[in-house]
Amino acid sequence: MLFHVPRQPSEIRIRHLNARLAQQQQQLAQTIFDKTELRHLLKRLSREHKQRQKDGKRVFVLDFNGDMQASAVNTLREEITLVLSMARAGRDGVVIRLESPGGLVHGYGLAAAQVARLREAGFKVTICVDKVAASGGYMMACIADQIITAPFAVVGSIGVVAQMPNFHKLLQHLKVDFDVYTAGQYKRTVTMFGENSEDGKAKFEEELQQTHALFKHFVEKYRPQLNVEQVATGEHWYGEDAVKLKLVDQLQTSDAYLLSLLPTHDVYVLQSRQKPTVAEKLGLAASVALKEVLPVIEGSLQQGFAQLASKIPAFRDPNV
């Protein structure tokens, strides 16, 4: 990270999509084209390259694959900082390929704020959704100047959910007391192990409604053409219905959209990844074993974290 140094170093790979596609086209053409067709292809590629150099149009492509904690914001913020420091506001565009069913409010609030940095700096932002951008994912998407989705992508679900089990009756059956001591009337409204009062439940519901109101206001700010009250029911929509409701602007896959840009724009894909360790580079068996164990440990930790944080309101559609 540029401003937040991670424990394990990361790096950004930059790929010129035009050059990559041109190379693959030439490889295929050498196999299936005759000499005349191959010559015409090379001339067309050369003309497009010269025209792009003359026009100077550039597009930067970022990826965001969201989980419950919106942990991908750690790399997104670094990529956006790099774009802001190098790209030309008002001339260059940014495309974000976004996939997320939503998650915790504070995580997706930060992710949305990162996307807003691009808009505030004067960049045209296009967000492409091929599968799902619901709840917190849609909160990020609505910041874009243009939202493009695949025909069966899931979008919307402008709602807030919080759910948690309560083991009070089980503890009573086992004759186990669970006491909660607080300072402040609403320091703890509901709990997993204690008996939840009606007053505490009402206060917790009030907090959810406040969060939902903030969510709706945020969407109205960036998509004034959208009738928020009509769609802020927690439902999600597909394809043409999403276009009719003005949740999205266009039906198209991200691949088709980027392909349409290539003849006139230089398209650069930014991809962040953690640098391989020395053990990984050497291919040691210990590294392989560690890779197998870590997901199990990580899954257990995430499950424990989810249980502890389950009362935190989330921009998430539980049906997605």
So which residues are the catalytic ones? 135, 187
113 by Cβ neighbours in 10 Å (0-12 / 13-18 / 19+) ranks as middle
| CA–CA gap between residue 68 and residue 307 (Å, rounded) | 12
Beta-carbon contacts of 142 under 8 Å, excluding residues fewer than 6 positions away, are 218, 219, 222, 223, 226
Contact 61, 93 (CB under 8 A): no
| CA–CA gap between residue 215 and residue 203 (Å, rounded) | 19
Q: How far is CA 129 from CA 67, 98, 252, 309, in A?
A: 15, 5, 9, 28
Beta-carbon contacts of 310 under 8 Å, excluding residues fewer than 6 positions away, are 162, 163, 164, 192
CA 13 from centroid of its chain's CA atoms: 19
| CA–CA gap between residue 197 and residue 209 (Å, rounded) | 19
Contact 75, 272 (CB under 8 A): yes
What is the token pair recorded at 187? Answer: 């320091």
Element counts in the chain: helices (H) and strands (E): 12, 12
